[in-house]
A and B are shown apart, each in its own frame.
Chain A
């Protein structure tokens, strides 16, 4: 028997910098990711993807491949186990049929999985997969995305309705002293987490066990149970360390294929996507074509705002890149219209990618606001402050907190904005033209019901079990600090275990809602445990465990506009002779709820800002209209920001606790990228006098535009 009385209450952990609890494992190589857990009798699966973009599979010539050394089986639509996709999954969403591999002979896009070759070693599997001959009946395809699609339709999504409108747009535009009407485009972008998607499936005494890299183990477990018509309790998914996700690590072809093969072969099977396969199978951000129309009076106050965003999806699954979303939060006007429209093409299904909707939408909207400020002759920060809405422009609901003005004021002070000459094209440093730009950021925050278990151990330590996922966010560490404070013990007495579907329902790592949702459940369990322990006369050998479920508490939250906000500042240097754009410095000031761990939070925010640099200047997947496939689908053809592309970036925050959250958290995973591309594009205009309305701002675009100052 051990008592857990702590004497003096320890110093508060939340709000102080803590290195990651799994840090020593990560810097020594001891941390094992999904494809690194050893299994005896492990077999290796290698996916074979279609080489056509649309048509039918005529035959899979597997006989010759089955004779190759080490090959165990070839799964394809002619022999694979059947799965069921007629269910409703997480958040009421239907599953993307792309995950139901090998069920029919149709090929709906380039890089569609047509077979899985399983062999004793990865070398044998790969060679056999590359040798597998598949005959197709090819049909014409259409992958061409542009602003002109007569068959585009308004589509609701997770971000809200397809169309919102109020007021008389034409009348208000006609009555406006200043009008802006501009089109913006963003390209297809890919998540590219450093760890490729990897799953190992095996049957263990009638139970399906999957070691996987994902953003929510119970999400994956439930989808697999649905697909294979299994009792959900008979499926366990674990995901201890995850090498990045950014929205791409949900249920994908590799897990389903691994389960099929493990079932057929009755031995563990691992399927890892290659980097190239990730470009067809892991989801991506749709390209967008956006039109923004703004009308303002002479003082820059908006009379009319319209934001229309066209994105694409596949022919088999509807996913909306809701670029018009930010306009529903950021700015109000007597006439206000937003629309998210979709066109269906013969392409892979897009999905959530860091700041879905807001990342491309904020590029268009925040560029347009900067252009409006220029036309009005008003400082772009002042114009934004004049248009701060009192309530949600579309919902009419109050904001939980909206400290955007504080972000701009603090950012402007630290960035030196007051000294800025608003004229474009007048600053030079040798061959470089210099400019600065700013933009606003916002991202929806919320909480989802979650459960947690907290155990007081007999040795005086505490164990918290919650099905959280740490995809690099620092969630494991943040929850340790939160649990320690709630238990009123030092952090070294708290052990947080995550990433196991057996721990019960909890929010996924997504939508900037993970840490807030988990922290709520952890706090509730810890509070209850502390009371229970106080009433007990000692801890029995098996410990004392208390469980929490936040379903009722989260459900009782008042309806409000809940968002993290931020102000982004960038300084760029542009060489109009080579077209090179360099970001020289960046500052982001955020109002994003209570910050749990300043050390990891700063990294997450600057990481998001680096995604913004990457989006503004580098990232672009180019789909070949002829073949329907991507050019250069790898990390040499698809550029993400490298170390040399990134200057000193600073991120900081203003005090902004969410009054309705037990810990005061909002969410910081996504807001960091929002607005960055606009801030950089606005800075490029300030440097050169040229507006760049298409991303990325490539050297050839800068060269073609020339110096217009």
Chain B
């Protein structure tokens, strides 16, 4: 059902995984419900609908956000990445491949949120963002070692009731190592520092 725009409905254009979707939404519709119930993109999960479990984690302009606390009308103009947009075609993202290979899940319901979160965690860490367990938080200190403790802390917004945490930590670490290797190669290639500038941009 797609009622005409009125005082309670508006037409919005959402930029999801690089594709524009125009739809008319009830102003009360969350981004999560717009994805799941209007756009048939059910990879983003509803675990609590009140921002407590992380199952609906998506990336908004490359930053983590819980889609249940985001109104669809407020997401217009943002670059939205969902689990459906993490892979490169048939090529799984390194985080997805690590979750698959290391069994970083059981029932799989929290998994899309965990994976979106992990993708962002690796970006945030590489950009030098500290966490609550980072010892040296001075801006010039640079990224702390991405230890298991750091990963656990940074991934704690995503509950997994099956208790797959042990392998989730291993999966994030493996993907982060692959990412760091790729960045080192990129860094060698881009001696002009454009990569570092891009990172700063992501962190801004």
Interface residue ranges, A against B (CB under 8 Å): 19-20, 22-24, 26-33, 35-36, 38, 120-124, 127, 191-196, 241-244, 246, 272, 274-275, 471-474, 599-600, 602-604, 606-611, 614, 634-636, 640-644, 646, 648-649
B29 at the interface (CB under 8 A from A): yes
Decide: A194 near B110, CB < 8 A? Known: A36-B42, A610-B165, A643-B158: yes
- Is there contact, CB below 8 Å, between B166 and A194? no
When the two chains form the complex, which single residue of B53, B96, B153 contacts A644, counting CB atoms closer than 8 Å?
A: B153
| Bound complex: CA A127 to CA B50 (Å) | 16
| Bound complex: CA A604 to CA B103 (Å) | 10
B156 at the interface (CB under 8 A from A): yes
- Is there contact, CB below 8 Å, between B163 and A27? no
- Is there contact, CB below 8 Å, between B163 and A19? no
When the two chains form the complex, which single residue of A27, A124, A634, A643 contacts B50, counting CB atoms closer than 8 Å?
A: A634
Nearest CB of B to A9, in Å: 27
- Is there contact, CB below 8 Å, between B152 and A244? no
- Is there contact, CB below 8 Å, between A194 and B83? no
- Is there contact, CB below 8 Å, between A123 and B33? yes
| Bound complex: CA A191 to CA B163 (Å) | 12
B37 at the interface (CB under 8 A from A): yes
Contacts of B97 in A (CB 8 A): 27
B39-64: CB near A (< 8 Å → 1, else 0) gives 01111111111101101000000000
- Is there contact, CB below 8 Å, between B108 and A472? yes
User: 13 A-B pairs, CB-CB below 8 angstroms?
Assistant: A23-B100, A30-B84, A35-B46, A123-B33, A194-B107, A244-B109, A472-B106, A472-B107, A610-B163, A610-B165, A610-B166, A635-B159, A642-B165
B106-143: CB near A (< 8 Å → 1, else 0) gives 11111110010000000000000000000000000000
Decide: A29 near B92, CB < 8 A? Known: A274-B49, A643-B169: no
- Is there contact, CB below 8 Å, between A120 and B1? yes
Contacts of A31 in B (CB 8 A): 108
| Bound complex: CA A275 to CA B46 (Å) | 10
Chain B, residue nearest A609 (CB): B163
- Is there contact, CB below 8 Å, between A640 and B161? yes
When the two chains form the complex, which single residue of A30, A122, A649 contacts B166, counting CB atoms closer than 8 Å?
A: A649
Decide: A243 near B107, CB < 8 A? Known: A28-B84, A29-B43: yes
Chain B, residue nearest A614 (CB): B163
When the two chains form the complex, which single residue of B43, B48, B53, B164 contacts A603, counting CB atoms closer than 8 Å?
A: B164
| Bound complex: CA A24 to CA B100 (Å) | 7
Nearest CB of B to A643, in Å: 5
| Bound complex: CA A18 to CA B158 (Å) | 25
- Is there contact, CB below 8 Å, between B103 and A599? yes
- Is there contact, CB below 8 Å, between B112 and A29? yes
Nearest CB of A to B98, in Å: 9
Chain B facing A: main interface SS:
loop
Decide: A635 near B52, CB < 8 A? Known: A28-B43, A123-B28, A123-B29: yes
Chain B, residue nearest A278 (CB): B48
Contacts of A20 in B (CB 8 A): 100, 103
Q: How many A-B residue pairs have CB under 8 A?
A: 173
Contacts of B36 in A (CB 8 A): 36
B150-188: CB near A (< 8 Å → 1, else 0) gives 011101101111111111110000000000000000000
Chain B, residue nearest A242 (CB): B107
B148 at the interface (CB under 8 A from A): yes
- Is there contact, CB below 8 Å, between A127 and B156? no
Most buried by A among B36, B44, B109: B109
- Is there contact, CB below 8 Å, between A642 and B82? no
Nearest CB of A to B159, in Å: 6
| Bound complex: CA A648 to CA B101 (Å) | 18
| Bound complex: CA A692 to CA B21 (Å) | 56
Residues B8-51 near A (CB distance < 8 A): 26, 28-29, 33, 36-37, 40-50
Chain B, residue nearest A41 (CB): B1
Contacts of B159 in A (CB 8 A): 194, 635, 640, 642
- Is there contact, CB below 8 Å, between B107 and A195? yes
Nearest CB of A to B66, in Å: 12
Contacts of B50 in A (CB 8 A): 275, 634, 636
Chain B, residue nearest A470 (CB): B107
Most buried by B among A22, A23, A30: A23
- Is there contact, CB below 8 Å, between A121 and B26? yes
Decide: A193 near B161, CB < 8 A? Known: A27-B115, A644-B152: yes
Contacts of B163 in A (CB 8 A): 606-611, 614, 641, 646
- Is there contact, CB below 8 Å, between A474 and B106? yes
B87 at the interface (CB under 8 A from A): yes
- Is there contact, CB below 8 Å, between B162 and A244? yes
Nearest 7 A-B pairs (CB), nearest first? A29-B43, A243-B109, A472-B107, A610-B163, A607-B163, A26-B108, A472-B106
- Is there contact, CB below 8 Å, between B106 and A275? no
| Bound complex: CA A641 to CA B168 (Å) | 14
- Is there contact, CB below 8 Å, between B47 and A195? yes
Nearest CB of B to A383, in Å: 30
| Bound complex: CA A242 to CA B101 (Å) | 21
| Bound complex: CA A609 to CA B84 (Å) | 32
Q: A194-B110, A609-B163 are in contact. List 15 more A-B contacts (CB 8 A).
A: A19-B101, A20-B103, A27-B97, A27-B108, A27-B112, A192-B161, A194-B109, A194-B159, A196-B46, A241-B108, A244-B161, A275-B48, A607-B162, A642-B165, A643-B152
Chain A, residue nearest B105 (CB): A26
Contacts of A648 in B (CB 8 A): 148, 166
| Bound complex: CA A22 to CA B105 (Å) | 12
Residues B62-105 near A (CB distance < 8 A): 82-84, 86-87, 92, 96-97, 99-101, 103, 105
| Bound complex: CA A33 to CA B107 (Å) | 10
Contacts of B48 in A (CB 8 A): 275, 634-635
Chain A, residue nearest B46 (CB): A196
- Is there contact, CB below 8 Å, between A29 and B44? yes
Most buried by B among A32, A127, A244, A604: A244
Most buried by B among A31, A124, A614: A31
Chain B, residue nearest A127 (CB): B28
| Bound complex: CA A607 to CA B166 (Å) | 9
| Bound complex: CA A661 to CA B43 (Å) | 39
- Is there contact, CB below 8 Å, between B165 and A471? no
Contacts of A611 in B (CB 8 A): 163
Contacts of B103 in A (CB 8 A): 19-20, 599-600, 602-603
Contacts of A610 in B (CB 8 A): 163, 165-166
| Bound complex: CA A208 to CA B110 (Å) | 30
- Is there contact, CB below 8 Å, between A607 and B106? yes
Most buried by A among B36, B40, B111: B111
Contacts of A243 in B (CB 8 A): 45, 107-110
- Is there contact, CB below 8 Å, between A193 and B107? yes
Contacts of B169 in A (CB 8 A): 643
- Is there contact, CB below 8 Å, between B83 and A29? yes
Contacts of B162 in A (CB 8 A): 194, 244, 472, 603, 607
| Bound complex: CA A23 to CA B82 (Å) | 18
Contacts of B49 in A (CB 8 A): 274-275
Contacts of A471 in B (CB 8 A): 107
Nearest CB of B to A275, in Å: 4
Nearest CB of A to B204, in Å: 27
Contacts of B37 in A (CB 8 A): 121-122
Contacts of A473 in B (CB 8 A): 106
Chain A, residue nearest B43 (CB): A29
| Bound complex: CA A8 to CA B156 (Å) | 48
Contacts of A194 in B (CB 8 A): 45, 47, 53, 55, 107, 109-110, 159-162
Chain B, residue nearest A270 (CB): B37
| Bound complex: CA A246 to CA B107 (Å) | 11
Contacts of A604 in B (CB 8 A): 106
Contacts of A472 in B (CB 8 A): 105-108, 162
| Bound complex: CA A243 to CA B86 (Å) | 21
Contacts of B111 in A (CB 8 A): 26-27
Contacts of A122 in B (CB 8 A): 33, 37
| Bound complex: CA A184 to CA B26 (Å) | 52
Contacts of A614 in B (CB 8 A): 163
Contacts of A608 in B (CB 8 A): 163
Nearest CB of A to B161, in Å: 5
